[in-house]
Amino acid sequence: MRRLLPPTIALALVLAACSSDDEASSTTTPAPPTTAESAADPDQTDPDPTETTETTGTTGTTDPTGTDAGTIEWGPCDTPGPLECGALEVPLDHADPDGPQITIALTRLPASGAAADRIGSLVINPGGPGGSGVEAITTFAATIPTDVTEVFDLVGFDPRGVGESSAVTCDLVRDDGVELVTAGDRATWEAQLGRLLDQFATCTAEPAALLAAVGTNNAARDLDLIRAAVGDEQLTFLGFSYGTRLGATYAELFPDRVRALVLDGAVKPTTDLGSTFDEQVGGFDRAFGNFADACDADPDCILREIGPTRDVVAALRAEIAELGSFTTDDPDRVLTAAEFDLGIIAALYSREAWPFLAQGLYLAETNADGTLLQVLGDGYADRRADGTYSNLSEANAFINCADDPARPTVDEMWQRADALGDGSEFFGEYLRGTTGCLGLPDSADPLVLGPAEGAPPILVIGTTGDPATPYEWAIELADFLDSGVLYTVEAEGHTAYTRAACANDVVNAYLIDLELPEAGASCSENATTDFFPPAGSTAPEQVVAFADCLREEGLDIEPVTVADVLADPTGEQLFASIDPSDPADAAAVTACQDLLPG
C-alpha cells in the first residue's frame, strides 16, 4: 500500500468503502461526537506509556527502560507459514492508563539469523493513514533484503482505528453514487456532500470515544507501548508515506527512545493538511506527464498504436462522459468516470504498473472495456475478491481529520475544491469532488509537530518522481527535523526502499549499523527508459489462464486473479509453491507453458 491517499478524501471514501464486517457496517448509529470524552489534552506533559499497569489478557514484563509494560502473546496466524500474530491492549486515553482499553493487532516475522546476531525488532507502517501493517508484513517479508530480516524481527501492526485493531467502521457507498464535478458545478458537489454526511452518520467504533481518538499522536503513544512490549529499549522504525508522519511524531514525543527511523516518501511537516493538496495534485500531474512522455517515446508502449497518450486519455474521458460508463468482465459492475480516473491514479504509484495502465487505456479505447482500469482502482481502494473492502477509507478520513484542527465552512471547502480542479492539468473534475473534513468530528488532539530535538540522526528518503508525496516534501521534512538526513532517489513511483535497488544498501546500512549517507547523496534508477515490455510479453490474463491450467493439472495452488498478477508481476509469490525439481510440478508446467508467450 505505502501511500497517502490523494486529496479527494471524501470522494475516495465513497469509491472505496468500509469494514469487511458486513454486520458491523450495516448498523446505523448516531452521528459521531464532536469531541472525545477521554481524549488526551494536547498541552499536557506526555506520560511515559511504559508505566502502564498490566492489562487484561496480557502478562506483565520488564521493559529495558526498567518500567512495567504489557506483553504480546505471539501465536500462529490463521494462514500457515512463519508469521506469528498477537495483540496488545493499550489505553484509549494515554493520560488515563487505567481507563478503557483498546486492542492493537500485530504480526511478526521472527529474525531468520542466529539469535546472537539479532538486533531487535523493525516495526513497520506501510502508509495510509489506514494501511494495515498486519496485512502488509507478508509483502515486506518477501521484499525486504535478507541482510535486514536475518537480524531483525519484522513487526507490522494495525494502528488504532484500522483493520484488525479496534477500528472505525462506516456504512459507506462502495461502487456507485459518485459523479465527477465540472468547473463551477456546486449543485453536484453539494448533492454528493449530502450523501457523504448521511454516510458519516453511520460511523461507529468500540468504544465510541475512539472515533475522535484515532489521531497520530495517540498512534505514536501506542507505538511506544509496542516498542516496550517487544523488549526494545529504543525503537527501530520503517515508515512509508503516512508512516513518515507517524515516525516524526514519535521522534518528537520520545526523542531519547529512537534508535533508527527510516522515513520513506515523506509527508509535508504541517498541521494544516488541507494546505498540502495543491502540492500533491502537482505530484500526480507530474507523474502522469512522465508516464505519458515515456509511453510516447517507447515503441513498445501499446498506446502508440492509437495516438499520443494525452490525446487518448482526453478522448476516453469525453467518451465515458457521453456513455456514462464502460463495461467490465463483471456483469454486475461497470467502470464509472470517477473510477476511470482512480485507476489512472492508482497506476502512478509504481513504475511497474505503467504497462498495465497502458494496456487498460488501450482496452478502454478499442473495446470500451474498463476491466483492467477497474482492477487497478480496486487494488488502490482495498477491494477484496469477494467484493468487500477493508476500512482503509474511513480510517484515512478519521485519522487525517483528527490530526488537522482546521474545519473550513461549506463555502470555503467548495472554493478550495473548485480551485483544486482548476489547478490540475489532468485530474480537475476528479479533484472537485473534495469535501475535506466536513461532517467529521472536530480535532480533540491535533497533530504534535516539532523538530524532534535530541533524537539521533533520522534518515529521510525522497523519490524525485513520487506522485503521492512530492520530492519537495522530503526536502522540507529533512530540513525541519533537527537531525534529519536526506537521501535522494531519482526514480518514478511512490517510495523507494525495496522498489529502487540503489536505495536498499543505504537503508540497510543505516538500519543495521547506523551508518548514514553523506550529505547530499543520491542514486538513480532512471538510467533506463525501457518502461514498457516488448510486444508478445505476458499479459495478466495470460498469467491467470496459466494458473488455472496448473490447477487443472492437479497442482495445489490458489486461484489467481488479474489483481493478484498486478500485485505480484514477477509471480514470485503466486507460484512460490511450484518445485521445478518435482516431476509432477515440472509436468504441469510443461503442459501449460504454451499459454505464456515466449
* Residue of 241, 390, 393, 483 marked catalytic: 241
Which candidate, 229, 279, 227, 284, places its Cα nearest to that of 256? 227
Cβ-contact 133, 124 below 8 angstroms:
yes
Residue with cell 525541519: 480
| Maximum Cα interatomic distance, the chain, rounded to a whole number of Å | 69
Strand partners, 103: 89
Identify the helix (H) or strand (E) that includes residue 460: strand 458-465
Burial (0-12, 13-18, 19+ Cβ within 10 Å), 92: buried
Residue 281: how many CB atoms within 10 A of its CB?
26
3-state secondary structure at position 359:
helix
All residues at 6 or more sequence positions from 496 whose CB lies less than 8 Å from its CB, including other chains: 264, 265, 461, 463, 489, 503
Cβ-contact 393, 400 below 8 angstroms:
no
Q: In the structure grid, which three cell numbers stand for residue 312, read together?
A: 487518448
Phi, psi for residue 377 in degrees, rounded to 5: -65, -40
**Per-residue b or e along 298-310, where b marks 16 or more CB atoms closer than 10 Å to that residue's CB:** bebbbbbeeeebb
3-state secondary structure at position 203:
coil
Strand partners, 258: 235
User: Is 43 a catalytic site residue?
Assistant: no
User: Is 19 a catalytic site residue?
Assistant: no
* Residue of 25, 443, 494, 564 marked catalytic: 494
Report the side by side order of strands in the sheet with 152-157: 75-76, 84-91, 101-109, 152-157, 120-125, 235-240, 258-264, 458-465, 484-492, 522-524
Give the HSE-up count for residue 212: Cα atoms under 13 Å, Cβ half-sphere.
21
CA 464 to chain centroid: 19
User: Is 241 a catalytic site residue?
Assistant: yes
Cβ-contact 458, 452 below 8 angstroms:
yes
CA 380 to chain centroid: 8
* Residue of 466, 483, 564, 585 marked catalytic: 466
Instruction: Give the relative orientation of helices 354-367 and 277-297 as an angle to the nearest 10 degrees.
Output: 80
Q: Which residues are catalytic?
A: 241, 466, 494
